[in-house]
Structure 1
């Protein structure tokens, strides 16, 4: 069954509290909040951490030493639970790296208490800065080791062109989408495959990435961007995606069953991950001459093949 919609209204955050540091007034007043939460796939025995970054303005200035309240929509339905509060980190490397997220300042690392651990399924987390009540969300899915998954790039693979996000960003609009892509992905999820959207965009674009996927009806999954301010291109993009795939499939023991991309860097990362057969490395209007992946020119070309797959659902 598909997970619940997870679209409940945010919880009541309470009243604004005073900032802990005078500098926070200036930081928060310097521009719009760029807060973002880190989506995660977790196995049932993984430590359960909530990870966020809190920053403002075009310079992405970190909010340091300030309180963030954390709420949970368990199973994506029912009433919000308050899990607790955390303080944003005050310096780089103040906290140990967790789930591949190093501390660059302004980050929240909150370990879910044992009594409130997440069970199997999809969960939504809402984080609120108490100084101005700005907020951000993230999603955590707890799934068994061996869960079959598909990974997809976003820019050019799902969006109309490779660079369209950065032109539409200026206007506030969302990029166009390739026809039939969302329908193909829904067919895969109906067969029991879980989606991972893996983009080399900068971290501050994670919410726009979720907005794009939601607007065009893609199945909900986990969205990962780079952790930097500028994103990654070329060699650095391939290295980033390779490391992400290693984290998910080698360390967490998930099964990489399908992958979608449109560039040489995608092809290199999927080859590094050892995805076989190569016919399940699918490239939209791109010839993977280096590694032998498969070209498609329309996602509808996959419908019959996916519909013929056996169901992996219990």
Structure 2
């Protein structure tokens, strides 16, 4: 991507994150920040978890969806909003639509967690299911947009969505003060790039790390090579991180502001989930446990540091979770 292309995209800034925080005031929950003495002793570090599993809709995605939809004109709202998602963005857009009186249509894969499909429908959205091994969700959404004239709000590659997601890190740093490290999961990079904008502005020397499953390591390979890498329907249990690649907006933000990328194993994700569920009593989905998995896999790298972790969500299918824990 050329510098000219990046400038045309009008990338969001830290000012946009602060504006989003004002827009979300009284609408998004200011989720708690939690710690674990057991974990701190085990790691030799001080870890602060921003618990977005307690956010409206069960995930951080509500921040970006509400920020984006609330900025639409009356004419755009009247046309309705279209989105595609494996679950958390789907529920966030559906909930936002209900709150703002906007019709929503969500394209979701047939194998998305049942709890996320039911939640999306429960918020009043029309759900269009598709076979991800056949056509792509982007292709289906483009056809629906052409047919119905709706406004598309993608799950991560949208300036207002990115700015909204960054408000989680902004709140975390307001509560904890300066941190040595900030870690978030990374799928399409919306949470990571928005968090990086907020953190770089509030604490310029902070180390920002994105974490992915080894089976969905496209952003890590992109970060290492400088060239866009992709994955297709990766078989990771972290369904929220199965996105094919970073986007045209998130890619330059990640390259400019992120310090490092790490990957974790599927077993590591389950171990991290187990700790969060059993020791901290936090119901966290696999995607949300990915940063802790990275900490547990390499504690020496973070010894003596103050670490912030954004737990992205808690929309987990209970039967699937119990199956994972029973393996």
TM-score (norm 1): 0.29
Higher percent of residues as helix: 2
Q: Which structure would you say has the larger RCO, counting Cα contacts within 8 Å and 6 or more residues apart? A: 2
Pick the structure with more strand per residue: 1
Instruction: State which structure, 1 or 2, has the greater radius of gyration over its C-alpha atoms.
Output: 1
